[in-house]
Structures are given as C-alpha cells and as structure tokens.
Amino acid sequence: MPHVRIVHLALALALGLAALAGCGPKKRPDGTLDAGSTGAVTAVPTAVEPKADAAHGKELVAQFQCNRCHDGLAQIEPAPQNKHCVHCHRDIMDGKFKGKPDTIARWQPRVKDLQDAPSLEAAGKRMAARWLEDYLLLPVDLRPGLVQAMPRLDISREQARDIAAYLVAGEVADTAPAPRGDAGKGRQILESKACGTCHAFSGVAFLGGTAAGALAFTIDPKELPRAIRLAPDLRHVRARMSPKRARAWLADPKAVKPDTLMPKVALTESEITDVLAYLYNATLDVPPAKGVPARLAVLSRRVTFEEVDRKVFHRTCWHCHSEPDYAIGDGGPGNSGGLGFKPRGLNLSDYNGIAAGFLDGNNERQSIFAKDKDGVPRVVRALMARHAEEAGAPTGEVRGMPLGYPALSLEDVQLVETWIAQGRPRT
Ligand code: HEC
Ligand code: HEC
Ligand code: HEC
Ligand code: HEC
C-alpha cells in the first residue's frame, strides 16, 4: 500500500515540523487536527504544506507586539504611547512629549533616527504573501534612508506563513507578468518625474534627484523628509508586489493605502506601462558584498566602567535591558521579555545587572562574558552578529545586538572588549 505509507510519512513530517516549531498541530474549531486531517490520498500536498492560518497569524502579531512599531494592522490597535517604540520617539521629535526643554533637546538627537517605521496598512494590496513570509524570517534592508531596521525576531517558518496570511487578508496571489512596455522610456520617465527625489533604485544607474523643472507631484515640504525615509529601494518591487498591484499603486497610491506619504504622480496609462517594464525587467547588478568587518585589537589604555557605560550600555542597550522597577514593571524586551522574546532577565542599566548575566533556555543564569570556542565573549559575539546581519551574512545562534538598530561602531565594540579583557573594573 505505497499510497497510504506516503500519506503517513507526510503527516508525520508535518506534525514533526510543527512540533519543532513549538506550536504543535492546530485544532480546528470542530476539534479536528489542521495538519493532514483529511487523511485522503489526494491530501498529500496539503499535509506537507498545511494551509496558512490567518486567525492564528493575528494572534501571533499580538504576541510578537508588531504594534509597538507598526501602525495600520487590521483589527489591532497601536500599542499605548508608553510602550510604542516609534510613537514615543516621534513625539519627542515633534515636541509633543512633556518634559523639561533641555532634557527633550538632549534626547532629540538620540531618537531622531528612531521615529519612523512603515505602516502596514493594506499590506495585502501591495505585498505578496510569499515575500512577506521570507522577509519575516530574514529581514533585508529595504529603505536606505531609514536607520532603524526590522528586527530579526524569533520566528518559525509556520509562524511567518500564518502572519503573512493575516497581513494579506485574503488577497490572492496574482502571477500575471509585467505588461510589455518600453523599458527605455520607463527609465526616462523615472528620471523626468523625479522619482529619485525619494526613491533609491539599487542595481541600476543612479536615478538622479529632484528635477530642475516643475515637479510632477506636490507634497507638503514638512512631510518630505519622512517620505524620503520611508520610500523603499525600488529594487525590491519585483519580488514584493505583482505588476498589477504596482500599476494600481502608481495610478493612485492613496487609493491603495490611504496613509501613504507617496504623492500621486501625474502619469498616463501608457507611461505606467513603460515604468513597469523598467521596474520589472531592468537588469540589476548584484549588490557588492558588504563583508563583515574584523574586530579591532584591544586597546592598551585603561578603560573604565564609566566609559563603557556612558558610550554603550547606558546609551543604547539600556532601552531594552533596564531595571524593571524603574520602568513601571517593564524592563524592556531584553529583560522582562517582549517582541515575542521570553524574559532573558538581562539588565544592562548598571554594573550589578551586567555582572548577573542572562537566563538561558533552561532558565539558568549565564555570564555575558563567557568565552565561546574562539575565545570571544558572548556580548562581543552579539555585537559582531549585528554587523553580520547588516552585511547579510550568516550569524549563527547568537542574535545581533542592539536588536534591529545600527551595529555599534568597531571602536565601541573595541571598548567593550578591552574593558572585559582588563577584568571588567568597576571604577
Ligand atoms: C522594533 C520595531 C519593529 C517591530 C517590533 C517590528 N517591526 Fe516590522 N519593521 C520595522 C522597521 C523599522 C521596518 C522598515 C525596515 C526597512 O524598510 O528596511 C519594518 C518593516 C516591516 C515590513 C516591510 C514593510 C514595508 O512596507 O516595507 C513588514 C511586512 C514588517 N515589518 C512586519 C512586521 C511584523 C509582522 C512584525 C511582528 C511580527 C514586525 N514587523 C515587528 C520595525 C519593527
Ligand atoms: C516613553 C517613551 C519611549 C518609549 C515608549 C520608547 N523609547 Fe526608546 N528612547 C526614548 C528616549 C527619551 C530616548 C533617548 C534617551 C537618552 O538619550 O537617554 C530613547 C532612546 C532609544 C534608543 C537609543 C538610541 C541611541 O542613542 O543609541 C534605543 C535603541 C531605543 N530608544 C529603542 C526603543 C525601543 C526598541 C522601544 C520599544 C520597545 C523604545 N525605545 C520605546 C523614549 C522612548
Ligand atoms: C515624495 C516622495 C516620493 C516620490 C516622489 C515617489 N515616491 Fe514612490 N513611494 C514613496 C513612499 C514613501 C513609498 C512607501 C509607501 C508606504 O509604504 O506608505 C513609496 C512606494 C512606492 C512603490 C511601492 C514600492 C514597494 O516596494 O512597496 C513604488 C512601486 C513606487 N513608490 C514607485 C514610484 C515611482 C515610479 C515614482 C515616480 C513616478 C515614485 N514612486 C515617486 C515616496 C515617493
Ligand atoms: C530593541 C531592543 C534591544 C536592544 C536595543 C538591545 N537588546 Fe539585547 N536583547 C534584546 C532581546 C529581545 C533579547 C533576547 C533575545 C533572544 O532571546 O534571542 C536580548 C538579548 C541579549 C543578550 C543575551 C542573549 C544571547 O543569547 O546572547 C545579550 C548579551 C544582549 N542582548 C546584549 C545587548 C547589548 C550589549 C546591547 C546594546 C549594545 C543590546 N543588547 C541592546 C533586545 C535588545
């Protein structure tokens, strides 16, 4: 009975994968199992690849707290102001945060680059489910003008698929190819309509900036800097959105996504066809390999805790790894848990917290200074893993820190490493 055996193998595989992902087979409301429950011979493909579950995806979006950075999630409110990583920073920039003017002025340069994340409104009218799934597993840099990045979350393939299903909200994939336009003309239109005011297009010749003549669009000058930060690199369009959706977008961005900052650009139907021909068919250069930089040798001068604390721990790390009592019971995602991470109990806000280390998978305390087989302290490994993530290189089991924020300069990593090598003096 070869068929039956195949079904069982597929079922075992599906269940095994689900169990590995820590989320077991899901029960349907009628009590049957989701994975391979039909048991029919024809069900082999479904058993291997269970159907994405949008309702579960919505639960996961709440669990991963995507609403602390992203607005525009269907049926999920933005996180309250005191938890919202983007709104709070933006309020500080816009002068809406209550506080002493000199304190606000001191904060502003720190949060200037942390005040934007794209809203996910109408994600399904723009982005393909498959692209979303891959992106959630391994985020790439989509916006050269945006410093903050999408953090690498602790997400399984199944979870990413369910979240993607929630985000696309029933929009079905359409696979029609790009219409046959004139890519050469399309390129000229991108230049003459000054799309490069906001967009980079990596892999092709530079688009140029603002057009000298009258612009083909209007935008409130106050909104322009944010529009530039939020404009994606057009390189990714062909993987992210179908030509049909890109056409609707170019015809009227706000009709697709009301909260978008992209203005409507005057384009005729045939101009759009030509632009699409270029967006989808232009030959893209392979991006130059960024390479993971090498660590600097430890310094010979003395490094005090005061210096590493001021320049690293109490500057950048502290915001996610703080003393819980101080922040109304929330020590940040790197201490009390959050963004889908379990509490790791790592308080980087003072010397004792740093010395106490973090909780491992078995809830046992581990030192952040413990050396790995190459003699690299765990915390230095985490700082270099962020450099590796930014370069698109594999990083191994240690997650890059600071999570989703620019890697520390090599000089700052050197400072941390030197302080550790000098025996972590308290003064
Ligand atoms: C700490 C803040 C933060 C959290 C939490 C976060 N994101 Fe993001 N996300 C970002 C930023 C910043 C970007 C823009 C990155 C870029 O353009 O390179 C982004 C980009 C994205 C994009 C691409 C959107 C676009 O228009 O290009 C998607 C989709 C996305 N995030 C989904 C999610 C989901 C789903 C979750 C929760 C599972 C999540 N994000 C959690 C900050 C966050
Ligand atoms: C209630 C307001 C508020 C919220 C909520 C908030 N922040 Fe901040 N954040 C600040 C302020 C104020 C600063 C600058 C403080 C300073 O310089 O000491 C800051 C700075 C930072 C920095 C340091 C930037 C640097 O200089 O290196 C990071 C990283 C950061 N925040 C991440 C986050 C993340 C992630 C979240 C959500 C989990 C978050 N913040 C939520 C107010 C907030
Ligand atoms: C004033 C700034 C601005 C100009 C000018 C502009 N765009 Fe955009 N564009 C944006 C922003 C911002 C987004 C992201 C929208 C969002 O997520 O809300 C965007 C999104 C897009 C997208 C969807 C990309 C994706 O990966 O999701 C395409 C395609 C696009 N623009 C093409 C163009 C073309 C072609 C032109 C010129 C005809 C142009 N844009 C002019 C700001 C601009
Ligand atoms: C945006 C929030 C955020 C910022 C900023 C941040 N962390 Fe983390 N950190 C986390 C989270 C969440 C975890 C738990 C990750 C996990 O469980 O895989 C963590 C875990 C860690 C760990 C231990 C876990 C391990 O497996 O190695 C170290 C060490 C660490 N962070 C160091 C730092 C340092 C040093 C900085 C500042 C340069 C920093 N972090 C900044 C969120 C953050």
pLDDT for position 297: 97
Average pLDDT over residues 322-330: 70
* Statement: residue 109 has pLDDT above 90: yes
Instruction: Tell me the two tokens of residue 88.
Output: 């709070």
Read off the tokens for 269: 């139907």
Q: What average pLDDT does range 179-186 have in this prediction?
A: 94
Name the residue at shortest CA distance from atom 21 of ligand 1.
Answer: 150
In the prediction, which pLDDT does 214 show? 58
Lowest-pLDDT range, 186-190, 201-205, 218-222, 277-281? Answer: 218-222
Establish whether residue 92 lines the binding site of ligand 2, counting it when its CB lies within 6 angstroms of any ligand atom. yes
Residue 336: nearest ligand to its CA? 4
Q: Read off the pLDDT of each residue in 99-108 and give the average, rounded to a whole number.
A: 93
CA of 234 to the centre of ligand 3 (A): 8
pLDDT for 326 equals: 62
Q: Which residues contact 292 (CB under 8 A, 6 or more apart)?
A: 384, 387, 388, 391, 393
Residue 270 has pLDDT above 50, yes or no: yes
Identify the residue whose C-alpha is closest to ligand 4 atom 16: 341
pLDDT at residue 88 in the model: 93
pLDDT value, residue 26: 36
The span from the CA of 341 to the CA of 88, in Å, is 21
> Ligand 1 pocket, 69 CB below 6 A?
yes
For residue 365, is pLDDT > 60?
Answer: yes
Give Cα 271 distance to the centre of its chain. Answer: 33
User: What is the pLDDT confidence band of residue 287, given thresholds at 50, 70 and 90?
Assistant: confident
**Distance separating alpha carbons of residues 173 and 242, to the nearest angstrom:** 8
Core vs surface per residue 246-271: b (16+ CB within 10 A) or e = bbbbbeebeebbeebbbbebebeeeb
Closest residue by Cα to atom 32, ligand 3, is 250
Average pLDDT of the segment spanning 329-338:
88
Nearest C-alpha neighbor of 285 from the set 230, 233, 244 = 233
Check whether 33 has a pLDDT greater than 80.
no
Of the two residues 288 and 84, the one the predictor is more confident about is 84
Mutation pick for ligand 4 pocket among 318, 384, 399 (CB with most ligand atoms within 8 Å): 399
d(CA 276, CA 178): 7
Tell whether the model's pLDDT for residue 27 goes beyond 50: no
Q: For residue 89, which of 7, 148, 34 has the smallest C-alpha distance? A: 148
What number is the average pLDDT over the span 193-200?
94
Task: Give the position, in ligand 4's atom list, of the atom nearest the Cα of 151.
Answer: 1
Q: Which residue has the tokens 């790592």?
A: 346
**C-beta atoms surrounding 124 within 10 Å:** 20
